[in-house]
Structure 1
């Protein structure tokens, strides 16, 4: 019986084995196709897998995903060939063998090759995805958007996911104005302190892409609550030579620029330069009214004004590299941004009692000239090792930001009991110089694990010499007012160290880090006005990011980030600015760093037809630095304290649909619920806000490209009030000639609306303040661009470099209020 049972079991095993042998064996082939120049993933390349010698009989046909990756199951064994076909690239083929004991065949990284043969009579209409996501950031490809030919960088920001631009052109990243701006991976504090004016003057055709880093890791400076905008400029440096020239003119001014690249042996230089002249097409008019709840004699203060503005801006970048040998590389980069502007304003001021009887009134005439410059220079030494991706980088950065201001204010038509007002002349020449030393080390522990370590030391020296000159009543000779003038130096040392760890396991990605920063600040006055003070800050900043690759085109991410916002000198400076005797301001040297905590869930799916990015996040700050205003004896006092609590829950969405190879439709929007509180001021404010933008891009016959766009927002909630919504619209049309070397573009914006009306309300227990401003919006013009030369190979750059973004900007105006950012 046992023998029969054993024979039966043996028979069944044989049947099972035979059945299994009849089942096809599955093998997995995977790898990544990379651009040989940029080392970026080559998206949507056509893949064919076939037996060696039979290229016309593929066994599998597929495409790479948006990151150039591919994974495919096959049942064939033996010698096979995989080939990749991409637009403008040579066909790349690679042989591989599949054996019976194989499970996964990892082909690793495969590189494309440029196709130097020019195709004639072929129209390429396929559209690249404009958005690309990574574990800690997303990037919008400005260069591939037709609107970039006729728009400013500020206008293109309206299309970038996680970024909004309101009716006053104020920028928000992830719902907050507290962000930092980088240029080519290097921070620019001058642009961070006034991004609206700078980016408004920067033509978008000088930009390659804009990265939104809402979850910066430990390697980034901890400053910037809502994240970082990293602006990548064109002219990425390639072998051979190339040069592009462009120019444009319109109702808001004119612009011109060029960029070029030259390589000789191991030494490569690339650079660009842009000039822009900007002017307001019409005067900007404003009206404001303040109601004093503490007085009946001086109850209502009304102001009206009209301002015109014009300015010239210059910007440029240069990069150079020298490859000592295969393991050692030296790179140099420099940049400048500067210019000068003039403005003229006339205004009238009237004070009324509670019964609307006139108390006093006067007119003002103001003219001002300002100049500014931001200069940066970096030197990086990169040492590679035999282990792949193991890098040691030593960096030094020198930067300077000189500025000058020169303004006159005249008072006329003084009626009744006017406060003592003297004609005023103010001059200032603030400047900042920075020396930064940094060391970064990246060590891949295994194929899927990487450890990062680094340290930084910043020496920052700022000086300011502000002089106030006044006349005697009815006089014409200016004498310095020693009580208002101020001269001081601001020394700041920052010590920082970080450690980061990243892991990638199959479809999972994990990145975490910890950063420590210690700041020493010392302010000394060189005049009788002002009191010396010092401050110290110590901050420990953690971060964590988790991603899961659902499929080849879909990613789910979760993150936590702590960010800080240190008070700058204008927040800390106790100097009393009483240039306007009815509106004085002073800082608070006892401020602490703001600390924000952010949680975010993100889903993205990017295919050749349909792109979508959805984010749900919550951010809260329990010690936010807020402007604290109160009225005392009819004088408005402005200072700062850590008195705010702020929480925001925000949902953002970006959708792009390539309806056909010639038609693209996109939408970018967000909605949030914001809650502001202050126990000390006994105030609270909350509510919903939203913004929406969208458009259509269409390729027309005769190689014409049409773009229609528009958008707007509802009211926005702030700490002490709210502001009105806005709307905008426009279109552009461009055409290329001479194998796309010459491009002509025309544009028009808000043709049926001369201006946009924007109002805001601020209310405290002691006063209510209402403003209404009319901004000129109608504009139209044209651009021309011409390219010469050819490019073949890429310029090597250091993988790491210095990034300083550790100062909370503020205090840009004469009142000592924080600059808008």
Structure 2
């Protein structure tokens, strides 16, 4: 299948003008990096680098060779996606092999070449994590918080001090290129069309519920975050900007190991948790239990000006809101792996979230709209209960050290029940006061099944085949019942505000990937075929399922991917890739139910939305030094049938819905620098520069008198994020995280710039078994979302905020026997045998 991308002359000129400075910056960085002599093509030295602890292959590790007694490298390379390195021809002599990677101890090995034709094979070289002594002062090194892999960036967050005592949303907001807004919406590189996984699977998360789930998931349960900006055909193509994978902790140390944690914050919230892990060589098991109560408050303002046909102000509607909530969930997680044989492994894992949260809100209105109230006060009181989780059963068979079959089945039930009471009193010019009362109950029942089988076969160190199947079968039932009246006693069923929404989506996919390498050239090509079936049905009051025809949509799509890489001299790596992506509309966007939580701002969905399709192109450059890493990425994405929220006035009421408005183009560059200074300061800096263009559109919603129009809009935006980790004497650790987001384009307007600063400090005692952490989130109290929107007959300014400045105090105690002699004696022979097998299978 061939995809052809066409651009208008105007679009090309616009992109060129907006990206000129960006291209100059990229070229400058490329040219500024020093080069080394070109390496010969014949092999002399090769080997494979692995993590000494996990036994996993390590990619992009810097490898160099120098003459014995010299400090100047003669030649260098970086390891590929299998952890393998190859160096060119050397003259006879005595040399030193140097292998380095941030967060690991440098490995050095002397070797001698007796003849020009001699080859040296170091086979398996394990790198150990770095803990070092500087003079008389003990400084304990932290694990590197970021590393690059062939198709993703990995951020280790288990030692993230700034997020201690927080939630998964707090962790994500501190990840480079990732942002979380006031409503819990996650975005990647400025786009909210992103897929979020837990442990490599959807785990029941969808755009409808993930904000609530991430707000309930404790930060201390997360080990690392994987960011995949342009996933290959092996992965789901859902989410035009990529995939964020949240990997939960699952310790694999020998013996037993665990920790207890308790904390409080300055808003009156508190949390407590405990976990234990056990590994006997035959069984790996873990258990985690925690509770977290969160107290939050937020608010907002909205000023709307109504305009006449000439654009002159004629009236206004202003409102201020205030809300606060409290509550929290129990988080439970358990699982284990039983090693039936050395080649067969059975895995059972589960996690669950159970809890409730209460919320109170107050909206104060002022208006001079003729015939409307001059002031109004609307109070809300709601309670939301969440019960759900994930249960997974897996089986893995290792045909060899380089070939395996992995089969998993998972069940994901999520129930979110909510009840809300709204009472409103409005005062009119004639001093007439009108009262209204509403009680609304909404129960969301969501269930999904995932079946997945993945086969991997590495025929050699330079050739690998991947193939698999994945089926996702999801069902959602969301009834909403509303009672309305002037008072609670007079409230009766409101037929116009009854809704039961059924949403079924089945996606079946098969993929094949092939990866190979010739000398310094690597490639990976694959294709994924997906058949999607969607069935939605919206029932009104008194209607049965058979009374209403369903809206169905079935389609088959192909998603190719191509990845190319070339290993340049002296540790430089260049990658180019292309993928096709999709973003399907989700339940809330499709549900035509009218939401009247705010009677002056009414929203509803559109069941006739089409999915977005995107073509994504990316070029990556990576350079590793001994203590520094630089990654430069340039990307371009064009999207058809962009789904956007549109707003329009109907009478004096603002209405909003969703529509496939037009096409968009996005281009940008991402710079990631990882610097380790003097083994004390670890600095990660990310800068994103991106250009967005949204074509103009015209759309007439059902029942509207005038079409909603939007002019072609384009802008150049940028954001920056810096994470600084200090390892100080006396077992002190400090972390600072700062971010800045420039003005950003949205449909019918823009969002203003904002910034934030988080900080944390930790002190360890008793050989690091006990630690005390103090963390502050949004310590400048600056995290606010300000937007300007306009349309036919109105312009509006809105500002929203939540929680604000919060300080957490957390105490953690670690215990265990990580070096249990029984386990070590049992495991040592097997580990040695595995190492020998790896050496035989790898070369």
TM-score, normalised via structure 2 length? 0.80
Match of 1:760?
Answer: 787
1:133 to 2:148 alignment = yes
In our comparison, the structure showing a higher alpha carbon Rg is 1
Residues 523 and 534, structure 1, Cα contact 8 Å, conserved in 2: yes
- Cα offset, 1:127, TM superposition: 5.7
1:397 to 2:415 alignment = no
- Cα offset, 1:774, TM superposition: 4.5
- Cα offset, 1:593, TM superposition: 1.1
Which region of structure 1 is more displaced relative to structure 2, 569-578 or 416-425? 416-425
Match of 2:742?
Answer: 714
- Cα offset, 1:749, TM superposition: 4.5
**C-alpha distance in 2 between matches for 1:87 and 1:770:** 46
**C-alpha distance in 2 between matches for 1:533 and 1:168:** 29
- Cα offset, 1:687, TM superposition: 1.6
Residues 251 and 780, structure 1, Cα contact 8 Å, conserved in 2: yes
- How many equivalent residue pairs? 761
Aligned match of 1:383 in 366, 389, 397?
Answer: 397
**C-alpha distance in 2 between matches for 1:652 and 1:115:** 28
Match of 1:541?
Answer: 559
- Cα offset, 1:532, TM superposition: 3.2
Match of 1:739?
Answer: 767
Residues 33 and 64, structure 1, Cα contact 8 Å, conserved in 2: no
Match of 1:260?
Answer: 276
**C-alpha distance in 2 between matches for 1:516 and 1:542:** 9
Match of 1:240?
Answer: 255
Match of 2:695?
Answer: 677
Aligned match of 1:490 in 503, 507, 510?
Answer: 503
Match of 1:591?
Answer: 609
**C-alpha distance in 2 between matches for 1:435 and 1:764:** 42
1:457 to 2:471 alignment = yes
Which region of structure 1 is more displaced relative to structure 2, 708-717 or 173-182? 708-717
Match of 2:31?
Answer: none
RMSD (Å), alpha carbons = 4.2
- Cα offset, 1:203, TM superposition: 4.5
**C-alpha distance in 2 between matches for 1:58 and 1:550:** 21
Report SS of the residue matched to 1:143. Answer: coil
Shift of the 756–105 alpha-carbon distance from structure 1 to 2, 3 Å rule, reads closer
Shift of the 81–624 alpha-carbon distance from structure 1 to 2, 3 Å rule, reads closer
1:313 to 2:329 alignment = yes
Report SS of the residue matched to 2:342. Answer: coil
Match of 1:647?
Answer: 665
Mapping 1:183-262, distance limit 5 Å = 183-190=198-205, 192-193=207-208, 195=210, 198-199=213-214, 202-252=217-267, 253-262=269-278
Shift of the 430–190 alpha-carbon distance from structure 1 to 2, 3 Å rule, reads same
**C-alpha distance in 2 between matches for 1:157 and 1:398:** 25
Residues 603 and 614, structure 1, Cα contact 8 Å, conserved in 2: yes
**C-alpha distance in 2 between matches for 1:466 and 1:568:** 18
Residues 44 and 608, structure 1, Cα contact 8 Å, conserved in 2: no
Aligned match of 1:773 in 776, 800, 808?
Answer: 800
Residues 321 and 361, structure 2, Cα contact 8 Å, conserved in 1: yes
**C-alpha distance in 2 between matches for 1:81 and 1:673:** 47
**C-alpha distance in 1 between matches for 2:587 and 2:381:** 27
Match of 1:724?
Answer: 752
Report SS of the residue matched to 1:570. Answer: helix
Match of 2:33?
Answer: none
Residues 755 and 776, structure 1, Cα contact 8 Å, conserved in 2: no
- Cα offset, 1:41, TM superposition: 4.3
Aligned match of 2:728 in 692, 695, 700?
Answer: 700
1:514 to 2:542 alignment = no
Report SS of the residue matched to 1:459. Answer: strand
Shift of the 420–648 alpha-carbon distance from structure 1 to 2, 3 Å rule, reads farther
- Cα offset, 1:365, TM superposition: 0.8
**C-alpha distance in 1 between matches for 2:603 and 2:62:** 60
Match of 1:448?
Answer: 462
- Cα offset, 1:292, TM superposition: 5.3
Shift of the 33–434 alpha-carbon distance from structure 1 to 2, 3 Å rule, reads same
1:34 to 2:83 alignment = no
**C-alpha distance in 2 between matches for 1:216 and 1:419:** 58
Match of 2:646?
Answer: 628
Residues 188 and 194, structure 2, Cα contact 8 Å, conserved in 1: yes
- Cα offset, 1:571, TM superposition: 2.7
Which region of structure 1 is more displaced relative to structure 2, 629-638 or 339-348? 629-638
Residues 208 and 588, structure 2, Cα contact 8 Å, conserved in 1: no
Shift of the 393–724 alpha-carbon distance from structure 1 to 2, 3 Å rule, reads same
- Cα offset, 1:505, TM superposition: 2.5
Mapping 1:292-441, distance limit 5 Å = 293=308, 299-353=315-369, 359-386=373-400, 388-416=401-429, 422-441=436-455
Report SS of the residue matched to 2:448. Answer: strand
- Cα offset, 1:181, TM superposition: 1.2
Q: How far does the alpha carbon of each residue in 1:712-764 deviate from its partner, in whole angstroms, 9 at most, with x for none?
A: 2222211211112122224322211111111112233555x456543211112
- Cα offset, 1:577, TM superposition: 4.6
Shift of the 704–568 alpha-carbon distance from structure 1 to 2, 3 Å rule, reads closer
Shift of the 446–412 alpha-carbon distance from structure 1 to 2, 3 Å rule, reads same
- Cα offset, 1:380, TM superposition: 1.6
Residues 152 and 228, structure 2, Cα contact 8 Å, conserved in 1: yes
Residues 733 and 763, structure 2, Cα contact 8 Å, conserved in 1: yes
Match of 1:802?
Answer: none
Residues 161 and 775, structure 2, Cα contact 8 Å, conserved in 1: no
Which region of structure 1 is more displaced relative to structure 2, 672-681 or 173-182? 672-681
- Cα offset, 1:174, TM superposition: 2.2
Residues 180 and 189, structure 1, Cα contact 8 Å, conserved in 2: no
Residues 152 and 199, structure 1, Cα contact 8 Å, conserved in 2: yes
Shift of the 235–790 alpha-carbon distance from structure 1 to 2, 3 Å rule, reads farther
Shift of the 292–340 alpha-carbon distance from structure 1 to 2, 3 Å rule, reads farther
1:468 to 2:468 alignment = no
Aligned match of 1:278 in 281, 284, 294?
Answer: 294
TM-score, normalised via structure 1 length? 0.82
Structure 1 segments (4+ residues) deviating >6 Å: 42-51, 56-68, 80-99, 112-116, 118-122, 294-298, 417-421, 793-796
- Cα offset, 1:548, TM superposition: 2.2
**C-alpha distance in 2 between matches for 1:623 and 1:449:** 38
Shift of the 635–167 alpha-carbon distance from structure 1 to 2, 3 Å rule, reads closer
Residues 129 and 608, structure 1, Cα contact 8 Å, conserved in 2: no
- Cα offset, 1:456, TM superposition: 2.6
**C-alpha distance in 2 between matches for 1:288 and 1:611:** 47
Q: How far does the alpha carbon of each residue in 1:613-662 deviate from its partner, in whole angstroms, 9 at most, with x for none?
A: 22211112121112233223334333322222221222222223222111
**C-alpha distance in 1 between matches for 2:106 and 2:656:** 67
- Cα offset, 1:476, TM superposition: 1.7
Which region of structure 1 is more displaced relative to structure 2, 736-745 or 445-454? 445-454
**C-alpha distance in 2 between matches for 1:86 and 1:575:** 54
- Cα offset, 1:223, TM superposition: 1.0
**C-alpha distance in 1 between matches for 2:755 and 2:718:** 12
1:665 to 2:671 alignment = no
Match of 2:580?
Answer: 562
Match of 1:18?
Answer: none
Shift of the 75–457 alpha-carbon distance from structure 1 to 2, 3 Å rule, reads same
- Cα offset, 1:242, TM superposition: 0.3
**C-alpha distance in 2 between matches for 1:757 and 1:94:** 54
Match of 1:175?
Answer: 190
**C-alpha distance in 2 between matches for 1:170 and 1:432:** 20
